[in-house]
Amino acid sequence: MIESLTKVLPSSILRLITQRSSLRKIIANAGWLFADHVLALVAGFLVGAWVARYLGPTQYGIYNYAVAIVALFTPLVALGLKDIVIRDIVRAPDDKDEILGTTFGLQVIGGLLSLGLAIGIALITRSENPLTSWLIVILAGQFIFQMFSVALVYWFNSQVQAKYIVWANNIALILYSLVRIGLVLSRAPLIAFAWAALGQAFVYAAAMAVFYRLSGQMLFTWQVRFARAKRLLGNSWPLLISALAIMVYMKIGQVMLGNMVGEKTLGIYSAAVRLTELWYIIPTAIASSAFPAIVRSHESHSDEVNRKRMQLFYDLIAGIAYVIVIPLALLAPLLVKVVFGPSYAEAGSILRIHAWALLFVFLGVARSRWLIAEDMVRFNMLITVLGALTNIAMNFILIPRFGGLGAAWAVVTSQAVSTYLSSLLSKRLWPVFRQQSLSLLVPLRIFSLKKSLNEILEEPSLSLDGRM
């Protein structure tokens, strides 16, 4: 993380950051969160790139079309319950069996609904491409295992025992990666890779169940209560809609490309998307680390102090985004050829455009924490839906004329609308729009950024121990 910052911040600012214990804690915690994903990044990305080379653009496009269809229904399994369930367990630990049992019951319903919708899509497309239909059905089988493992994830998160989640994920991922390597070496057919993905979901769910039992808990004590279910759904529906909207504007472009242009173009576009989505963990790790400090500052300091701190937060996260985006855009053709091979060369032009969506993704993740601190969850839901609708509209307009390039422009446009321009829709967010606008100019504002950082670091109350 520090190495990335050295490219955008002067050494004097970096010394101030590293000398201030509170900011060191944020950076260090973000580093740990990122480190947890290193295995997933290496195994998932490198093995995935090898699989893409083996399959070629057309078959890779068919597979990613099926993945995108299934992904659209994935939020229905979780039902937006994560934060609500964790909160309730923390508040009432004695009710954990009722909370977990009811959550599991709701997610069984959500999982079966997701499975039914995915199979319905598969039946509709069966006459056009039977292979695609079978891929969708097999991949949708993951919902069966997800609706069980998700409740366990909530429990371990509520107990601050994420190590069990990491272990289960790593076990499943290592086995999945080894299987995919074996499939490539044995020249296996495309459908075998879908079965491998289903196997990964099974191993992950089984490992989570084992760790739950080893931690001293029992599955058979879970209870389902209608009153609890009603309360959970009453609190979670805005988060569910937000999750569905996010998944739409992450995956709908691939679905529309597959339907409107063809599998080969989709395969090439999917290669570019993988090189962009690789970086999504960075803003999430940073924002998750800084969020407690943001909340405490919001509750105990003046608007002026909060404004300065949020401006610094936006500036830093935008600076990191620029460090990633600019090289990614400039080196796009070379990166695509090195990672995916000459057959994906057209993805270089797509990546040059798609990479700029990262800038707005970073700003959006940062702003979402502020919205939560301000208790504006429903507004966050509305702007996420706005982003999804913008993405669909832009895809309809641009894909027929520009293909994958059009889909990339649709992503950048929808992200800009959802995470930046939408701040103009509420007078309460006009100051946020100004802050984000300044952060977009951060390469031109290095010296003013240094001054702001100096002012904030001189405040004796800047800490993460509850005094902020």
Q: What are 138-161's pLDDT values in tens digits?
A: 999 999 888 888 878 877 777 766
Residue 345 within any structural domain of the chain: yes
Is the full-model pTM beyond 0.85? Answer: no
Rg (CA), the chain: 23
Neighbours of 343 (CB within 10 A): 18
- pLDDT at 458 exceeding the cut of 60: no
Residue 255 in any domain: the answer is no
Rounded average pLDDT over 386-407: 90
Q: How many CB atoms lie within 10 A of CB 84?
A: 20
pLDDT at position 300:
54
- Given a contact cutoff of 8 angstroms between Cβ atoms, the answer to whether 423 and 432 are in contact is yes
User: Who contacts 133 (Cβ-Cβ below 8 Å, separation ≥6)?
Assistant: 122, 123, 125, 126
Q: Do 218 and 295 lie in a common domain?
A: no
pLDDT confidence bin for 193, thresholds 50/70/90: very high
- pLDDT score, position 89: 75
> Which structural domain, as residue segments, surrounds residue 203?
58-224
Residues 163 and 267 in one domain: no
Question: What's the mean pLDDT in 172-188?
Answer: 91
Residue 338 and residue 201 share a domain: no
Q: What CA–CA distance (Å, rounded) separates 294 from 369?
A: 8
The answer as to whether 241 is a domain residue is: no
Is residue 234 assigned to a domain? no
Query: Is the predicted pLDDT of residue 369 greater than 80, yes or no?
Result: no
High-pLDDT (> 70) share of the chain, %: 78
* Rounded (to 5) percent helix, strand, coil in the chain: 85, 0, 15
- Rounded to the nearest 10 degrees, the angle between the axes of helix 142-158 and helix 162-185 is 150
> Between the ranges 9-23, 292-306, 349-363, where is the mean pLDDT highest?
349-363
Lowest mean pLDDT among 91-95, 376-380, 447-451, 460-464: 460-464
**Can you read off the two tokens belonging to residue 318?**
């935008």
Average pLDDT over residues 277-289: 73
Confidence of residue 219 (pLDDT cuts 50, 70, 90): confident
Residue 70 has pLDDT above 80, yes or no: yes
d(CA 461, CA 91) in angstroms, rounded, equals 29
Compute how many other C-beta atoms are within 10 angstroms of the C-beta atom of residue 105: 19
Same domain, 72 and 213: yes
d(CA 260, CA 398): 11
- Choose the final residue of a domain: 224, 245, 276: 224
Let me know whether 22 and 65 are in one domain: no
Mean pLDDT over 166-176 rounds to 85
What average pLDDT does the segment 440-446 reach?
A: 78
Out of 13-17, 317-321, 387-391, least confident range: 13-17
Residue 258 belongs to a domain: no
Residue 126 has pLDDT above 70, yes or no: no
Sequence-ordered list of residues with C-beta below 8 angstroms from that of 255, at least 6 positions apart, any chain? 65, 68, 69, 72
Distance CA(201)–CA(198), nearest Å, equals 5
Same domain? For 18 and 133 the reply is no
Is the residue at 247 inside a domain?
A: no
Helices 190-214 and 48-73 cross at an angle (nearest 10°) of 70
Find all residues with CB under 8 Å of 6, minimum gap 6, and list them: 14
* CA 22 distance to own-chain centroid: 26
> Do residues 292 and 32 lie in contact, with contact meaning Cβ atoms separated by under 8 Å?
no
Rounded Cα distance between 51 and 43, Å, is 11
Residue finishing a domain among 203, 224, 245: 224
Nearest to 150 by CA among 65, 236, 64, 231: 236
Residues 356 and 305 in one domain: yes
Do the domain assignments include residue 467? yes
Do 416 and 304 fall within a single domain? Answer: yes
pLDDT (0 to 100) of residue 238: 78
Residues near 150 by beta carbon (within 8 Å), at least 6 away in sequence: 77, 78, 103, 107
* Shared domain check, 193 and 282: no
Q: How many angstroms separate the first and last alpha carbons of the chain?
A: 24
With a pLDDT cut of 90, the percent of the chain lying above it is: 18
Give Dmax (Cα) for the chain.
68
Average pLDDT over residues 241-254: 82
The domain tally of the chain equals 2
Among 224, 246, 274, the domain boundary falls at 224
Q: How many CB atoms lie within 10 A of CB 234?
A: 9
| Tokens (6 digits) for 37 | 């994903």
Kindly state whether residue 237 falls inside one of the protein's structural domains: no
Q: 427 and 311 share a domain?
A: yes
pLDDT at residue 212 tops 70: yes
Is the CB of residue 390 less than 8 Å from the CB of residue 417? yes
Band of residue 295 on the pLDDT scale cut at 50, 70, 90: low
- The whole-angstrom separation of Cα 157 and Cα 270 is 32
- pLDDT of 178 > 50? The answer is yes
**pLDDT computed for residue 135 by the predictor:** 92
Q: Which helix (H) or strand (E) holds 86?
A: helix 82-91
CA dihedral 90, 95, 99, 102 (to 10 degrees): 180
Whether residue 82 is found in the same domain as residue 172: yes
Confidence of residue 301 (pLDDT cuts 50, 70, 90): low
Task: Quote the CA–CA distance of 246 and 252 in Å, as a whole number.
Answer: 10
Q: Is pLDDT at 452 greater than 90 in this prediction?
A: no
Q: Are 243 and 80 in contact (CB under 8 A)?
A: yes
Q: What's residue 8's pLDDT?
A: 43
Q: Which of 135, 210, 133, 126 is nearest to 167 (CA)?
A: 210
Interacting residues of 389 by C-beta distance below 8 A, sequence separation 6+: none
- pLDDT at 175 exceeding the cut of 80: yes
Residue type, 308: K
Find the mean pLDDT for residues 244-256: 83
- Residue 197 sits in the same domain as residue 282: no
Read off the pLDDT band of 183 (50, 70, 90): very high
Task: Please tell me which residue, 95 or 429, carries the higher pLDDT value.
Answer: 429
Q: What's the pLDDT score for residue 17?
A: 46
Q: Buried b vs exposed e over 184-206: b needs ≥16 C-beta within 10 Å?
A: beeebebeebbbbbbbbbebbbb
State how far the Cα of 377 lies from the Cα of 238, in Å rounded to an integer. Answer: 7
Average pLDDT over residues 243-259: 83
